[in-house]
Structure 1
């Protein structure tokens, strides 16, 4: 009987979290939880170079796929930070990262309340609305030379230094910017 009550409480909690996430996505313009495929991550990593001292952010990090790919390919980079607003992906990624003893740090916070002054590289797979809101934030906060990488959604009215068309993926593009 107690087991049924506990399972019911867990299921109701998950349903509430998913409902709240859904309403944030629909009514506040937040990006849904969609991961970047490994193939795309490899293409991105082949188009950028890193220094050991780089501070790298992934916005809307979900499972932190971009940061995991960097940690795997460049284990010497020690400051990898994911920002995830929604609790469920944040919580799951924290558990997964702790199980593999990762150095990636995941923060449960709003990207608009995060200061990017120390960032050398910022990766985004968000949506058009979010990128439009982030453009001015990046311009104000990012240091000169900081790289912004966006999969699928460009920063409006900013010219990227490079656009990579993903072959065999239809209209997929990766946008690379320097602030």
Structure 2
């Protein structure tokens, strides 16, 4: 009879050190605001809005942080009137009556649902501390909106702005 014993294995031990001379540690902030407020903006539209009508407004997207960033925009609505609308967005547009005019169209007809849906991304970059982009938003209440909405013509749409930076 033959008996053997064996040990198989590997061990390693490393050690290292490094010296730094700068002693400098830098931080930055990414902060986005909509019309000088939080990164969300809720628009409550007028109670006179009926199927086939539009309403428009401008939101200034601002960089109040210390580094440049790009951003995305999403839309949602928690109520039936908002969810019966479509959204048109125009960069650097202005309000003319109840529509957006001028500028560059970002999206022509975005459906609005109860879920938050991103409809544009990589906007910007907006400069650190002072970058601003005016976005005109136009809401259209469909001609085929349910008749039940005529009894409660008010509602709201929420826009959410998300910064990613630096670009």
TM-score, normalised to structure 2's length? 0.24
Task: Give the structure, 1 or 2, with the largest relative contact order (CA under 8 Å, sep 6 or more).
Answer: 2
The structure having more radius of gyration, on CA atoms, is 2
Alignment TM-score, normalising by the size of structure 1: 0.23
